Structure 1
Amino acid sequence: MTTLAAGEDLPLGGEIAHADWPEFGWIDDVRPSLADAMAAGRPAALATLFKVEGSAPRGPGAQMLFTAGANGTVAASGYFSGDCIEGDVAHHAAQVLAVGQPRRLHYGMGSPWIDLRLRCGGALHVLLERVLPESPAVQALLRHAAERRSCTWISDGESQETSESAGPLLALTAEPFRIARRYDPPRRLIVSGGDPGALAAARLGAMAQFETILLRPGGPHAPPPFPVAQYVREEPAEALARLKVDRWTAYLGATHEDHHDLGGCLAALRGGAGYVGMIGARSRAPARRAALEAAGASPEELARLQLSPGVPGLGKSPWEVATGIIAEIMQALNPAHERA
């Protein structure tokens, strides 16, 4: 496998569908798009940013996924540079889809080809590899996601495997070339409640690519008027026991009824949720904390509980409160070494 520079050996076609409005760049986790392609029996081109030099919008481990579209276009998910190189990567992806030969692409600083410039002045190195529906590595990767288990994708572009181990987000071996890219369970947001604030938090969470579950105990049978991964009408504690929680899960109690939200918070804390919050007035916090302590919550669990969630000063409208809470959840669910 040789390293190619921007613009070299481009195939016909390969333009990104809907590139004028690049909503594909909102997608950070390419696994749902990969699952759709594999279920339809279509190969995909997986692009992984494996090395960054200087300044860049994305760090090593960022990914894009390309699948064949109509009229020579490719459907894309994810982004690397904010529209500096995505079109060129799509051209190469079309070739990888067609012939199966992996490619390593070098953009920006240090590349002898200067027809594509990076606004940030750095350098990006991308591995493009074809993945096939029948690949055991792909099937294992998607199975780990469905079962909410971490794993690592190991590839030299031609030989691929999925390992149970979970190391750093991206590990690179230069010679022989190989990448090891960690995948964690999808970030999940569970919101209990049905008032405007709860609905705003659920809707923002879904828009921010969280796997969003809305709980509304005894709520209407009709689902909410916006897409969520699940809508359930159970008690929060019962629903969380069934759904299971983990450190990639955030729970927000927003029914404003303690007999609903306290049980949900206790279940989320005991399950090791990465974020547990409960909306309510600060004056209610001592009584709520005492009730959870009486129910068996440990001091360590209570220390992780947010009883006045969100970012102070944003305002009190539903969207303002929800924006602060979602920002707080994003910080909590991102490992410290990946926030920079």
Structure 2
Amino acid sequence: MTGAIENGDWPVFGWVDDIRPALAEAVAAGKQATLATLYKVAGSAPRGPGAQMLFTREPNGDIAATGYFSGDCIEGDVASHAAQVLDDGQPRTLHYGNGSPWIDIRLRCGGALFVMVERIEPDEEAVHDLLRHARERRSCIWNSDGLTRAVSEGAGPLLGVREDPVHLARRYDPPRRLIVSGGDPGALAAAQLGALGQFETILVRPQGPQQPAPFAVSQYLREAPAAAIARLGVDRWTAYLGATHEDEHDLGGCLAALRGGAGYVGMIGAKSRARGRLAALEALGATKDELSRLHLSPGIVGLGKSPWEVATGIIAEIMQALNPARERA
């Protein structure tokens, strides 16, 4: 069987960091999949331990890939091993770079990468538990020795590893989510960049047009931001950006997001409005701790004032705030 990666000349599959949506598609289609986990890195590497790729076989025999490890140094070879694991079900541990048995595969950055590849069945209880935790927005730990898998509740480091033989405990957090309220060019730019950045993006536009947004988002809602947040719920993996420029909506949305424990809360507006907005939120009952977590005039200073420049700075700030490496769990 071929291990050629589908559309390998244009590896946009590497844009995806979270393999769970692709895994959910494979499960829905009744497909077996192979999960590859980067479990150890020696020296420099584009990705750290815990990075993952998912592979499925297409009807023409090619391998569909999601995720990346090295920026095209080893992905093709990992896909070949993934095809073998799909066929025989036997997990493999792969060693690339310094000390590797495959001296013809060179890593441009030096160092060494260690990968475990395992076959996933669509009816496995652990797989359904993993996807259920994602839907319910709860963290969990995927425990695997390559042959048997189980999912447990809880937090911890992104990846725990025991070797000889390899056993992985990989943490999965709820998918990153971005709620943007507003309908001007800046709000729309932020929503589109969020969607392109792999956020589960929800665009809220109170009494907005009936037709959906002209770009893909997870949901488009026409209700007040506070009402949408109350219904959706927020958590520390959720960012909220108020950009309606109407205090009735932006203040209500920010207060609901702050009280819900959102990981990032921002409100676009002139700096001259900041003092009045803080006073209004305090009058509505916001505590000093909640207000200290509010980003007024959010984003990176100095990028420019066009919608895309402003949105780029805000999305970068949100990515930093929701980065799993910042977790203290």
Deviates more, 1:169-178 or 1:149-158: 169-178
Matched, 1:91 2:72: no
* 1:152 and 2:141 correspond: yes
Q: Which amino acid aligns with 1:220?
A: P
1:337 Cα deviation after fit: 4.6
Question: Cα distance, 1:98 vs. partner?
Answer: 1.2
Superposition deviation, residue 176 in structure 1 = 3.9
Per-residue deviation, residues 282-313 of structure 1 (Å, max 9, x unmatched): 00000000000000100000000001100000
Q: Which amino acid aligns with 2:14?
A: G
- Residue number in structure 2 paired with 1:327: 316
Partner of 1:304: 293
CA RMSD of aligned residues (A): 1.1
| Identical aligned residues as a percent | 74
Q: Is the 8 A contact 2:95 2:101 kept in 1?
A: no
SS of residue in 1 equivalent to 2:143 = strand
Q: Does the alignment pair 1:44 with 2:33?
A: yes
Residue of structure 1 equivalent to 2:306: 317
Structure 2 residues without counterparts, runs of 5 or longer: none
Taking the TM superposition and a 5 Å limit, the aligned residue runs for 1:141-220 are: 141-220=130-209
AA of the residue aligned to 1:164:
E
Q: Does 1:227 align with 2:223?
A: no
Q: Secondary structure at the match of 2:175?
A: coil
Q: Aligned AA for 1:168?
A: P
- The alpha-carbon distance between structure 1 residues 336 and 29, as it changes in their structure 2 partners (threshold 3 A), is closer
Instruction: Give the C-alpha shift of residue 177 in structure 1.
Output: 2.3
Pairwise CA distance, 1:338: 7.4
Mapped partners of 2:54, 2:254: distance in 1? 37
Q: What code does the residue aligned with 1:298 have?
A: T
Inter-partner Cα distance in structure 2 for 1:262 and 1:335:
28
Partner of 1:9: none
Match for 1:178: what amino acid?
A: H
Alignment match, 2:90: 101
In the comparison of the two structures, how many residue pairs are matched?
328
Residue 18 (str. 1) matches residue 7 (str. 2): yes
The normalised TM-score by structure 2 is 0.98
Which residue identity is paired with 1:19?
G
3-state SS of the aligned residue for 2:90? coil
The one-letter code sitting in structure 1 at the alignment partner of 2:164 is E
Output the CA distance in 2 between the equivalents of 1:338 and 1:72: 40
Equivalent position of 1:112 in the other structure: 101
- 4+ runs deviating over 6 angstroms: none
Quick check: 174-183 or 325-334, which moved more?
174-183
Alpha-carbon distance between aligned partners in 2 of 1:92 and 1:336, rounded to the nearest angstrom? 30
Query: How many angstroms does 1:167 deviate by?
Result: 1.3
Give a deviation string over 1:230-254, Cα, whole Å, max 9, x none.
0000100000000000000000000
Q: Which amino acid aligns with 2:273?
A: R
> 2:254 maps to what in 1?
265
Q: Distance in 2 between matches of 1:56 and 1:338?
A: 22
Residue 114 (structure 2) aligned to one of 108, 125, 137: 125
- The AA in structure 1 aligned to 2:105 is L
